[in-house]
Amino acid sequence: MIIAAVLVFLWIDLTGTGLFPMAPNTGAPSVAALKQFDYLLHVLLALVVVIIVARVVGGLFKYMHQPPVIGEVIGGIMLGPSLLGRLAPDIYAYVLPTNAAPFLGVIAQLGVILYMFLVGLELDLKIIRNSGHAALAISHASIVAPFLLGSGLALWIYPNLAPHGISFTSFALFLGVSMSVTAFPVLARILTDKKLNKTTLGAVALTCAAIDDITAWCLLALVISVVQSTIPNAISTVGLTLVYIVIMFVVVKPIIKRGVLGLEHLTRVSESEMAVIFVSILLSALATELIGIHAIFGAFLLGVIIPHDSRAAHDLTHRLDDMVRILFLPAFFAFTGMRTQVGLLNSFDDWAICGVIIVVATIGKFGGTWIAAKLSGLSWRDSTGLGILMNTRGLVELIVLNIGLDLGVISPRLFTMLVIMALATTFMAGPALALVIDTKNITPAKPQPQTAL
């Protein structure tokens, strides 16, 4: 399957080498800076407004039995130029001025680094090690199918939506990866809310999503190395990344395991140990940033190698989770909202392309998962439910898209379309799952070895 996917992508890349993106529009208006700008005042005000809006809109979506993260993302977009900037431009310019964006961006990036550490901390490597061939096949099919469809879609949209000067290879690779992402934390939250986490479907979904997470981040690291470097440098970056992964698992992991075991007798991790952990997170993030992939990979990898069920992991999650979700992530949503300009989609063709992106992303993720699940022996209901769950993208997709926009691989217009796609595919998961599975009559799965998957 992987070899066939590589051959298909090489054909897509060969076909797209003759395409050229449109020249940039140099007549875009510039925003004047404030004459006397109090950075701290505006950043603090922005954080207050952002947190309040995120909690209110997120709570509203939770009341509607939707993941609160969708409401928080929409709240961030509402505070951006798409709504507040249009309805009350003066208020928008004061609450979220352009000058404050870099500071808000730093806070957002720090929040994403801590969030990815927590995501890594939630992953149980035992599930992946014990997963059978069926779970591996389903998870990889759920990446290969949308990746190839997204890369193929690049043949159509590259001339009109790619930034000027970006190569087709980089554009097609990134578009394929952006279609392949599954939001492991959102999927886990949906399973818990629907009381499916103890069922066979829930076990398979969590296993596939965990494998998806690691595979997708590795793919994104490869794409970043290709985008930022020439081919020789990209090979060097990939090589350094592999060396770093080996060092983390062979050298660092045993040290961390011994240190974590020494904390098992404590009721609470002390400030000194917390300081060591934070320094480790930052150093790991710094290392991957220097290698040339992204700081989030270092934080994610450190979280993965910390024993999942240790007292230190539970204490870290308990102490960091609220701060990250309440303070840092809303800043990231607001930062994303400032970059999401729905007004850029000002024609029927733009919205038609956006609709096609949503359809292609859904067909790729749902279809690849469903076919592999059926071939692996799952029932029609479980295969359909698994395909719906794997189509959730959520916050993880937004992180990927912001990286693409920062790298200049995608244009602001395509960024907006892909943000809408991420929201639409996550929003449809809950209602679609309710149509397929009766969550009121859930039968827990019988205890069985993980290899049965």
pLDDT in tens, 322-359: 888 888 888 888 888 888 888 888 889 999 999 999 99
Q: How far apart are CA 211 and CA 144, in angstroms?
A: 13
Under the banding of pLDDT at 50, 70 and 90, the label for residue 367 is very high
Q: How far apart are CA 365 and CA 425, in angstroms?
A: 10
Q: Is residue 145 scored above 70 in pLDDT?
A: yes
The pLDDT, as a whole number, for residue 30 is: 44
Under the banding of pLDDT at 50, 70 and 90, the label for residue 32 is very low
Q: How far apart are CA 409 and CA 223, in angstroms?
A: 10
Q: Where along the chain do its domains lie?
A: 2-13+41-97+107-452
Contacts (Cβ under 8 Å, ≥6 apart) of 44 = none
Q: Is residue 453 scored above 60 in pLDDT?
A: no
**Residues 153-177 pLDDT 10s:** 999 999 989 998 888 988 999 999 9
Q: Is residue 134 scored above 70 in pLDDT?
A: yes
Nearest to 453 by CA among 127, 2, 1: 127
The pLDDT, as a whole number, for residue 118 is: 87
- The answer, as to whether pTM is greater than 0.85, is no
Which CATH number does the domain 2-13+41-97+107-452 belong to among 3.30.420.10, 3.30.70.100, 1.10.10.10, 1.20.1530.20?
Answer: 1.20.1530.20
Residue 268 is inside which H or E element, if any? Answer: none
Under the banding of pLDDT at 50, 70 and 90, the label for residue 219 is confident
**Residues 224-259 pLDDT 10s:** 777 776 666 667 777 888 899 899 999 999 998 888
Q: How far apart are CA 435 and CA 385, in angstroms?
A: 9
